[in-house]
Amino acid sequence: MGVIDFLMQGFHTAIQPGNLFFAFIGVLIGTAVGVLPGIGPMSGVALLIPVTATLTGGMEPSAAATSSIILLAGVYYGAMYGGSTTSILLNTPGESSSVVTTLDGYQMAKQGRAGSALSIAAIGSFAAGIVSIIGLALLANPLSEMALKFGPAEYFSLMLLGLAAVSGLAGGSITKAWMMTVTGLLLATIGIDAVSGVARFTYEIPVLFGGLEFLTVAVGLFALGEVFKTILHKEDDQEKVAKVGRVIPSKTDLKESAGPIARGSILGFFIGVLPGAGATLASFFSYIAEKKLSKTPEKFGKGAIAGVAAPESANNAASGGAMIPLLTLGIPGSGTTAILMGALIMYNVQPGPLLFSDHPDVAWGLIASMFIGNLMLLILNMPLVKVFAKIIETPPKYLLPIIIAISVFGVYAVQVTTFDLYLLIGFGLAGYLLAKNDYPLAPLVLGLVLGPMIENNMRRALTTSNGDFIVFIENPISAIFLVCAVLWILVPFLLKLKGKNVVVNVEG
């Protein structure tokens, strides 16, 4: 069977009434998540995991996994759409990848062109979504077939590379990012060792024998962490939201945006495929590229439509591109895809090369649903942009109780233990304190998800080599992954060191 046949099967799965409903709910909630400043796709996806678990409770395991991942992925790329709304209307990014959109989007809003900026952002996001889905459909099978040839040594090295990539690019401090990565790996060791049967770091507490539940940690760190931040840092001064006038863009706007949308979509997709690069980097690169290519670079930062079209296209294409390493190799390229991976594992669906052969309905159903979801987002965002703009004005006193209720009831419904509720509160406080002190949370989640797999593959590789560590550099593919991982860690460190030396010499 070819790609077209698999895709047709995927559409057959995606257009089932239940899955269409899940896709619609996902993109709708995702847009709202993107619009609300501070929540972001990671918090939104983490918050919705227990909800999907409850909604799909009576389904077959495979159908439950498909419906859940369709909804959660919808939240992910829907948040990328929604993030542009606050950037343009409030000069406040809904999430990090929309930071660049504020530069020209807010200037357009001040000039009375908010409607045009929002509609071009929606059109660019749709075009980018289609580009990334085509790329995902074309690359998924070849990559998964190649990955099937990997042994435990190659998988161990590949996962280390994924860990190094995300940790190396998370946050401003490399040291803090690595501290969080190690913390995540340490938390992953809690529970009964699968090989020896020895209890590790359980302190004779029976409920810890199964390890820390990913769902509890993710919802606590992101959703409750954001709640604590909002409660403890009250911001009384409400910024004025710019008025949304004419929503349909002019022919001139469409003509000026066509090139930036196309270039941003392609560039964003390939940056998204790289583990650790992510949507934020894609949006920055596309903005810089457009400014360099523009015949009027002086207009950038003063309301250039290309300054909205390019980064918004790039960040949406990157979210689709990030699905490739997740689905084909089992390597999450960002914090949000790490949470999506944890959700799939919850349903006993292991992302990686066997996903397309063992669970084709999940893999191709998701890819097809992304096309349908992007179409839904375009239809939703163009006419309802003024409605979504009103969501920005939702007072925290209404929003916070809803988030707390979903977090508590969701975690309890899945785990059915009060111990997990205590853990939820504990991780919520930890998430607040860590974020307050600029410790990135994504590496911790990634360490927690990848930790068991890194350990299992290392043990399997050492078993086949009779404990000889040379097995990791003996195989060329494994050695290449390890060299790339080391360079990913060392290059930013050396560049930072070189920068400090330059400063010292200039001052001297």
Convert the pLDDT of each residue in 296-323 to its tens digit.
888 888 888 888 888 888 888 888 888 8
Q: What secondary structure letter does DSSP report for 475?
A: S
Q: Is residue 506 part of a domain?
A: no
Tokens of 455: 């350990």
CA distance 147 to 141: 10
Query: Which of 136, 119, 131, 139 is closest to 317 using CA atoms?
Result: 131
Q: Is residue 443 part of a domain?
A: yes
CA distance 202 to 216: 17
Percent of the chain with pLDDT over 90: 11
Q: Is 15 exposed, middle or buried (0-12, 13-18, 19+ CB in 10 A)?
A: middle
Q: Is 460 exposed, middle or buried (0-12, 13-18, 19+ CB in 10 A)?
A: middle
Q: What is the structure's pLDDT at 480?
A: 92
SS3 content of the chain, % helix, strand, coil (to 5): 75, 0, 20
Query: Which of 393, 392, 318, 315 is closest to 101 using CA atoms?
Result: 315
Three-class SS of 390-459: HHCCCCHHHHHHHHHHHHHHHHHHHHCCHHHHHHHHHHHHHHHHHHHCCCCCHHHHHHHHHHHHHHHHHH
Q: Is residue 503 part of a domain?
A: no
Convert the pLDDT of each residue in 222-246 to its tens digit.
878 878 888 887 655 455 555 666 6
Q: What is the structure's pLDDT at 506?
A: 40
The residue among 332 and 192 whose pLDDT is bigger is 192
Question: If you average pLDDT over residues 258-269, what whole number do you get?
Answer: 89
Q: Is residue 400 part of a domain?
A: yes
> Helix 61-90 crosses helix 114-147 at what angle (to 10 degrees)?
150
Query: Which of 153, 129, 101 is closest to 301 using CA atoms?
Result: 101
Convert the pLDDT of each residue in 367-403 to its tens digit.
889 889 888 888 877 777 667 666 666 777 777 888 7
Number of domains the chain contains: 1
Convert the pLDDT of each residue in 37-96 to its tens digit.
656 777 788 888 888 888 887 788 888 888 999 999 889 888 877 777 777 777 666 566
Q: Is residue 485 part of a domain?
A: yes
Tokens of 232: 């403890």
Convert the pLDDT of each residue in 432-469 to its tens digit.
999 889 888 878 887 888 888 888 889 989 988 888 89
Range of the domain at 426: 3-498
Which residues are 191's β-sheet partners?
Answer: 200
pLDDT at 505 over 60: no
Q: Is residue 80 part of a domain?
A: yes
**Residue 478, Cα to own-chain centre: how many angstroms?**
26
CA distance 445 to 250: 44
Q: Is residue 76 part of a domain?
A: yes
Q: Is residue 185 part of a domain?
A: yes
Q: What secondary structure letter does DSSP report for 325?
A: I
